[in-house]
Structure formats: structure tokens, C-alpha cells
A and B are shown apart, each in its own frame.
Chain A
Amino acid sequence: MSQTPALQTPAWDTLDDDALFAAVLARRGAGQNIDRPLALLLERWRRPAIYVIRRIQQSYRRGVEHDQEELFQDAACKLLERGLDQYRGVTADDAGGTRASSARTFFLRIVKHTAIDQYRRHHEELAAGAKGGEDEPETPLAEVQLSVERARREAERDDASELYWRAFARLREEHPNEAVAWQLYHHEDLDDHVAVAKALEITVVNSYKRISRAQAHLRLYLLELRDAGSGSP
């Protein structure tokens, strides 16, 4: 039986980055081994990734060379664990649409947020320590468990956030009046219909109505996004 080009095993190094990445995605989808093409891609992306990490280290004025390799490995793990399923080859733009982005750019963005996360968190821990936080140091096993649990929570929160913001982007586009009221009440923490009504120069009753309708729209959009994700009708 003939295979599609992406599932064949050509001389991997003759493929450009995007073709190689497409082959990784196709082989993963078909349950085939992706070690060789993925390793080749990561080797190609190592230098630019280390450059990104160095730039972020410089911004935070911390980090050593050893960290660079560790962060690169973390980013590679994230690409493997979640990124391969997330990659859509597009980036959100300001108009609410999307534009094309390469596989290399996608990976370097993962590297970027992995490094930012690391140093931002480190900065917060130092700040908390300076304020007198004296927790017992974690044992290595507890650290691993905490790290796994944190990664799971992050993934769940990222998924929920992504759906929420996609639903809100649609609300802004299709029902701008409801979106503005919702934004004031929930995003800008007015949390009060009198204040929303005053800000929008509408009645308090109208504020209630707009928020209710915004909530119903958002929940409908969320359900549709979930249906589309699960393939349900």
C-alpha cells in the first residue's frame, strides 16, 4: 500500500523545517515513530532557541549557561506534550483574524514563554522570600509531584482560557454592546450594575439585560467550541 509523502521515510535532512514538521505531525497522527525527524528539527532550532533564552536571561539579569540547556529541553518537552496538538500554523492578529506562522516561529515562541515563565516565577519567589516566606524546602520527590501537578493545572487553565477568550472575541464581533458591558463588569472589575450603567449611560435594567445576554451568548459560543473540539454535533 502506498503512503502519503509525509508518512514515508525520506532523507529527512533534505526537507525544509516546515516539511519536516508536517512529517512529524503526520507520523504522530498515524501512530508512527517521530524520534528521528523531531530530533533533527530540534537540532536545527537549538541555536536560535539558545539565542532567545539568552535574550530573556539578559532582561532578567540572571541565569547561567546550564539553565539554557535545561530550558531548551523543557521547551522541547512542551512541544512534544502539547505543542504538536496545538500547532495550527496561524497566529491571532489584531483584527481578530489569523495569519500564517512557521513551525520554527511556533517553537521559538514556546521557548520564549518557557523562559519567561521560569524567570518571572523565580523573581516572584525571590520577592516572596524577601518578604519573610520561610516554607520548608521541598524534597526532590515532592518537587517532581508539584511540578507535574502544576503543569496539569496550567494545561487545564490554558485550555479554559483559550476557549473563554475565543468566545469573548466572537461576542465583541457579533454583539459589541453586550461585550462592552461584560468587559466593564467582569474584566475591569466594576462588578456593579449601577457603575456599568453609569459608564455606558444606560439604565441599570439595561445593564442587567446586557450582562445576561452576554453571558448566554458566551456560554453558547463555548458549547459550540467544545462541540467542534470533540467532533460532536
Chain B
Amino acid sequence: MPPFTQRRRAIDQRTAELGGKTPATIMVACGEVLRMKEPASESARSEAEGALVVLSLQEVETSLASVSAGATRGELKLAMSDAFEAAFADGSEERALYGASAVAGLLARDKVASLCAAARARLALGSENSTQKAPANAALAHLVSEMTALDGELSPQARSLTGINRERRLERDKLTPEEGAIAWWYAARSDEGDDRLLAALGEISPAAGGESLTGAALADLKASGLSKPTRGGIESALRRVALGAASRGERDWLTARVAGDAALQTALSLAEDASLEEAPGD
């Protein structure tokens, strides 16, 4: 077995890449190893555990508490935007720039997953009693709860990430199946058949787009037909204005459409008349 200092070298290197040696970066580096399907060496897991066990519970708690769910959300939203832009990029250079930026955004969420994995491992390894571990456990539960809410909000938008599926697959395939199932930011809609989904939705290259789409992407394509406003939509829009359900855009469209038609203008004016809803009751 190599000496301890040598075994720690890989983790130290990753810690340096993450911005320098702090309890939080050590936890992220170790968490990444623990979540990997095939760590760099057989001893990597024990190296990670060795690095974690020397962290104090206070350091673990502080590291967990230092995560900003709002900042992580911002990073993920930016990653979604950049991944979308990658799908519509002009040329490979622009695509690479957007792709790299999007991957960096996804990494922000992935780091939190690694931090949580490391905290769980540290709490399982330590010899402290449950009272001593309680504050770190509470910090972990709080962060997990925040990430669950964040994932609930943003994971339904995973289709936006399909523009960088090549990069996502590389990261997805490093994870254990259990971690891959959790890491929607890498895994959801990341198969090859989804790679051209955004292009197909935007109809930027219909000739090549249709052939490579999978069942899920094809189903999306079929289910996302837009009911663009037409003259036939006037009745529907009037009903929605009367019900108070029309957005400003819809009302603007309707107002322009009924101009010059006295009967429709009367109908719109009545539909908008909120005083009717305050009809006397008795």
C-alpha cells in the first residue's frame, strides 16, 4: 500500500482544482470519489474516507451551511439557458463556449450532491455520539430539503439541457447507477435520441432532426404543437377575458383583432366589464 501522503495526492489535486484546500472543497472532492462508478484506483474510496474522517463535525456543519440554494438555482438556470443556446449556436466554436459554460453551471449542482454524499459518509464514519452529531445532521437535512425543492422546480425543465447531451453523458456515465438516478442535471433526457430535440422544436434543421429522435423526443415533438391565435380563437379569447383568465398578451391580441367589428367590440367591452361581477346579490 502506498504511503498515506501519496494516497491523498489525487484528492489534494482535485481540492486544488476546486479552489484550494478548505473543509468544503475536501468534502466535495471526497464526495465525487464516493459517488463514482469507477474511481481512479481501488484505494480511492478509502482515501476519501480517510480524508473525511479527520474533518471535525463543526467543519462539516459549516461547510453544509455555506451552500446557498439561491446561488445554486441561479447557476442551474444559467446552465439551462447556455445549453439552449448551444443547440442554436452558429458554428462549433460558439457551441463549445456555450457548452463549457453550461457544464460549469451543472457542476455547481453536482458539487452540492458531492458535499451531501461526503457529509453522510463523515457522519457514518465518526465515533461521536448522536448528540454530538445532531447539529451536522440538522444542517445536512436542511440542505437536502432545499435541494429537493430546487430539483422539484427545475428538473421538469431538463429538456433545455439536451443541447449539451454529449457533455452530460460523459458526467452521467462516471456515476454509480444510484447517483445517476438522482443526478437529473446530468441524466434526465440525456440519451442520444434527445440530442436534437431543441433543434427539432425550433425547426432549425428539419431534414436531419426527425430521424435521430427517440420515442420520448418524438412524443414531445408531437405533443408540443402550438395553437397559434387565429380568427377562430376569438371566441375562446373572449371567454377567457370574461373569466379573468386572459393574459395581457392575449388581451392585446384580441383588442387588435376586434378593431373595426362593432359586435365583437361590444362583446369584448362586456367581457372586460368587471362591474358586472359586482352584481347586487339581494
Residues of chain A whose beta carbon lies under 8 Å from any beta carbon of chain B: 44-45, 47-49, 51-52, 55-56, 59-60, 86, 91-92, 94, 96, 101, 104-106, 108-110, 112-113, 116-117, 120, 123-124, 127, 154, 157-158, 160-169, 172, 179, 183, 186-188, 209, 212-213, 215-220, 222-224, 226-228, 233
Contact B201 A162 (CB under 8 A): no
A212-B204, A222-B224 given; A123·B282 CB < 8 A:
no
Contact A48 B267 (CB under 8 A): no
Closest 5 CB pairs of A and B: A216-B202, A113-B242, A48-B279, A160-B227, A219-B224
A59, A161, A217: the one contacting B266 at CB < 8 Å is: A59
Most B C-beta atoms less than 10 A away, residue of A168, A183, A213, A216? A216
Contact A161 B240 (CB under 8 A): yes
Contact B270 A92 (CB under 8 A): no
A49-B279, A113-B243 given; A223·B220 CB < 8 A:
yes
Question: What's the interface size class on B, roughly?
Answer: 35 or more
The chain A residue with its CB closest to the CB of B264 is A120
Contact B242 A222 (CB under 8 A): no
Contact A116 B281 (CB under 8 A): no
Contact A92 B246 (CB under 8 A): yes
In the bound complex, residues from chain A placing their C-beta under 8 Å from that of B256 are 187-188
Instruction: Give CA–CA (A56, B263) in the complex, Å.
Output: 13
A47, A56, A105, A113: the one contacting B238 at CB < 8 Å is: A113
Contact A60 B266 (CB under 8 A): yes
Contact A164 B227 (CB under 8 A): yes
The interface residues of chain B, by DSSP majority, are classed as helix
**Contact flags B13-40 to A (C-beta < 8 A → 1, else 0):** 0000000000000000000000000000
Q: Is B146 an interface residue (CB 8 A)?
A: no
In the bound complex, residues from chain A placing their C-beta under 8 Å from that of B236 are 154, 157-158, 161
Contact B247 A226 (CB under 8 A): no
Contact B271 A112 (CB under 8 A): yes
Contact A219 B247 (CB under 8 A): no
The interface residues of chain A, by DSSP majority, are classed as helix
Instruction: Give CA–CA (A182, B245) in the complex, Å.
Output: 22
Within 8 A of A (CB), among B208-251: 220, 223-224, 226-229, 232-233, 235-240, 242-250
B201, B204, B270, B281: the one contacting A56 at CB < 8 Å is: B270
Q: Is B155 an interface residue (CB 8 A)?
A: yes
Return A157 CB to nearest CB of chain B, in Å.
Answer: 5
In the bound complex, residues from chain B placing their C-beta under 8 Å from that of A101 are 244
A94, A116, A164: the one contacting B248 at CB < 8 Å is: A94
Contact A164 B226 (CB under 8 A): yes
Instruction: Give CA–CA (A200, B253) in the complex, Å.
Output: 19
Q: Is B70 an interface residue (CB 8 A)?
A: no
Within 8 A of A (CB), among B137-169: 155-157, 159-160
Contact B202 A215 (CB under 8 A): yes
Given A47-B280, A161-B250, 12 further pairs, Cβ under 8 A: A44-B281, A48-B281, A60-B266, A96-B247, A109-B242, A113-B242, A157-B236, A168-B247, A183-B249, A186-B228, A212-B203, A216-B199
